[in-house]
Amino acid sequence: MKKLLIIFILFVLPAFIIQPVVAQDAYPPVNYDEVTIPANARPDFSLSENPDFESGLNEPGDNSVAPTDASITDLPPTDSSDIEAGLYVDDPNYGLTLVGSWYNWILEDFTAEYHVNTDSTIDVRETILADFLQPQHGIYRYIPIQYKDGQGFNYKLRVGNVSVSDKNGIGRNIAERGYNPLYLKIGDPDFTVTGLQTYVINYNVTRGIRYFDDHDELYFNITGHDWDTYIANASATVSFDRPMTDDFRYTCYVGALGSNSSEFCDVKQVAADKIEFTATKSLLYDDPAEDFTIAVWLPKGFVVPPTTNQTIIWWLQDNWGLFLAPIIFVLMFWLWRRKGRDPKFTKTVIAQYSENSELSPIVADVLLHDKDMDTKAISAEIVYLASHGYLTIREILKENKNKVEDYELTKIKEPDEKLKKFQKILMFKLFNYGTDGKVKLKADLEKKFYNALPKIKQELKAEIKPYYTTSPEWKIGFMVIGGMMAGFGLVMGLSFSRLDIIIGLILGGLFVMIFGWFMAKKTSAGQDLAWYAAGLKEFIKVTDQDRAKFYEDHNMFVKGLPYAMVFGLADKWGKAFDGIYLDQPDWYQTTRLGTFNTILFASSLSSFSSTSSSHGFAAPSSSSGFGGGAGGGFGGGGGGSW
């Protein structure tokens, strides 16, 4: 458990701090070198003013006029005078269209002004000229402020000082307001307007500049594409507190989402500190909807980036879901210390030179490490059964090669009262897949024996239950809760595109499961057996210091080998007996030539364990630059009328 706490402090917590610093460079920068900006002439398209709809304020409640159901195919013959009179518009989506048959309003002009301050904040002014062809209350405008960085974490703009006025600076009513995204429903619910209306939206943006190793960048979607009408004209300017240097670069895009075409936009520097961008075509609103996006390459140092501390604070605020993991970790650690931590051994761990009849390799592994039974422990248990005369292990070599291809187990005697119930089940399940008391690991057990593992685990849990003060169901309960928490986090995170919630709850769920696994507190008998297992492991670890003991008990090598295997010390155990134990155990049969050697024998059993785990006991496997474009960057969104 101490190791788990150290890993969390050294690796998990620093990741929360390092990530926001790295994430600011996670977006790919725009590739200005691959963009050409043609100087296209602006198409001769504009919406003529309709003399039948004068700009003005209608009477309260006068909003009952609705668009007609006329279709393009129903239109009578027209000529240019009808267009000039304002009876028809040249719709970029549908061609010549009767006024009122498709639109309640037209977005005649969208102009955005971005002033980049030295502190990297941006003052934004959007001037929207709307032509209401039917009585409407006003417009609504929404601008996304939450995005994803290159790793999928949240990146949120800070937007403030929001105000709306008309072209004369007189404030307009905001009927509704939202903040994520920035949402403004502008107008009066008691009045309607018609004709040309100007809406000036001012706001300030923090975190609108992207930072890279060799440059900084302003990358904004000016108009967005989520409008319910087309935008006849769109333009933008970007200005700075001081004159631009020669290494500034800039470009723009007009087209469907993801398009990197600059064919229909024009860009030029109009002053020492100002750039002007112009869309040279009207922006479609449907099939496909089109965006107008700008990008400006700023040399490093031209603006002052936020401090690292501020970046970290913002990142943590944007990704608060990550705090769920450390909070759950602390709570579970506190609960484990109070309810689940085993008391320290009251006796000093000393090397144990003899085996305990109550302590088979699997039980020793489970009690000492508070872990579930694994296939490595089953391999050690089979060797334990072989060393006690219940079965033999025979190597099967590849034809004409001195290399093991498989292992054959042969039952020597039936399980008796000396074996625990889980050991009897193990033997029964092993030989149930063979014939005549023989079974091969690969040929007979591969992709089959894993079905027997749940029953063996069940009997093992019953065997060790008296060694714990709490029921094993406690552990299972925490595992279920942790799994449900992780699953809930995954579903909620994907539903709301919140990677921080996914990570926070999945990690939190894992912490619940991990600590839950250690909640099973041992009884005094369990502690005594765990203490003995620790002593046995200590003896195997310090074998080179007690070689005299080996001469006293000729069978010590064979007796300790299964435990050395389960503790991962088989090679060390074999080296300790090199030159002392010279007889081949009769329960392990091999046709390979050579004098018996404990080092090679231990290595052979390690291979047996590996083969058992990967083949005999395993379950079957299941099959199963500057890049930019229209719609990229910050800003965007859309709007409509109401």
Do the domain assignments include residue 52? no
For residues 252 and 368, state if they share a domain: no
| Domain of residue 401, residue span | 342-469+521-616
Do the domain assignments include residue 25? no
Do the domain assignments include residue 481? no
Do the domain assignments include residue 368? yes
Edge-to-edge strand list for the sheet holding 226-227: 174-179, 182-187, 138-143, 638-641, 226-227
Distance between terminal CA atoms of the chain?
A: 61
CA distances from 325 to 16, 335, 340, 365 (A): 11, 15, 20, 30
For residues 289 and 349, state if they share a domain: no
- The per-residue pLDDT for range 212-223, each reduced to its tens digit, is 888 999 999 998
Q: Does the global pTM surpass 0.75?
A: no
Of the residues 306, 328, 362, which one is the last residue of a structural domain?
306
User: How far is residue 618's CA from residue 420's CA, in Å, rounded to a whole number?
Assistant: 24
For residues 356 and 438, state if they share a domain: yes
- Which tokens belong to 514? 């991990």
Q: E strands, 11-170, where?
A: 56-57, 88-91, 95-98, 105-116, 122-136, 138-143, 146-148, 154-156, 158-165
User: Burial of 493 by CB count in 10 Å (0-12 exposed, 13-18 middle, 19+ buried)?
Assistant: buried
For residues 426 and 374, state if they share a domain: yes
For residues 167 and 267, state if they share a domain: yes
For residues 302 and 352, state if they share a domain: no
pLDDT at res. 163: 94
Q: 254 in helix, strand or coil?
A: strand
Q: In this structure, what CATH number is given to the domain that contains residue 265?
A: 2.60.40
- Chain centroid, CA 206 distance in Å: 26
Evaluate whether 377 touches 566 at the Cβ level (below 8 Å). Answer: yes
Do the domain assignments include residue 397? yes
Q: What are phi and psi of 458, to 5 degrees?
A: -60, -45
Pairing verdict, β 105-116 and 234-240: parallel
Of the residues 282, 306, 330, which one is the last residue of a structural domain?
306
Do the domain assignments include residue 100? no
Of the residues 284, 306, 328, which one is the last residue of a structural domain?
306
For residues 354 and 240, state if they share a domain: no
Total domain count for the chain? 2
Q: 322 in helix, strand or coil?
A: helix
- The per-residue pLDDT for range 412-459, each reduced to its tens digit, is 999 999 999 999 999 998 898 888 899 888 888 877 887 888 898 889
For residues 278 and 202, state if they share a domain: yes
Alpha-carbon Rg for the chain, nearest whole angstrom, is 38
The CB density around residue 452, as the number of other CB atoms within 10 Å, is 19
For residues 225 and 357, state if they share a domain: no
For residues 231 and 141, state if they share a domain: yes
Do the domain assignments include residue 275? yes
For residues 291 and 394, state if they share a domain: no
pLDDT at res. 35: 41
pLDDT at res. 407: 86
For residues 572 and 459, state if they share a domain: yes
pLDDT at res. 28: 56
Residues in the chain, pLDDT under 50 = 10-11, 14-27, 34-78, 81-87, 98-101, 622-627
Do the domain assignments include residue 464? yes
Evaluate whether 27 touches 150 at the Cβ level (below 8 Å). Answer: yes
Task: List all residues 6 or more positions away from 186 whose beta carbon is below 8 Å from its beta carbon.
Answer: 138, 139, 140, 141, 164, 172, 173, 174, 175, 199
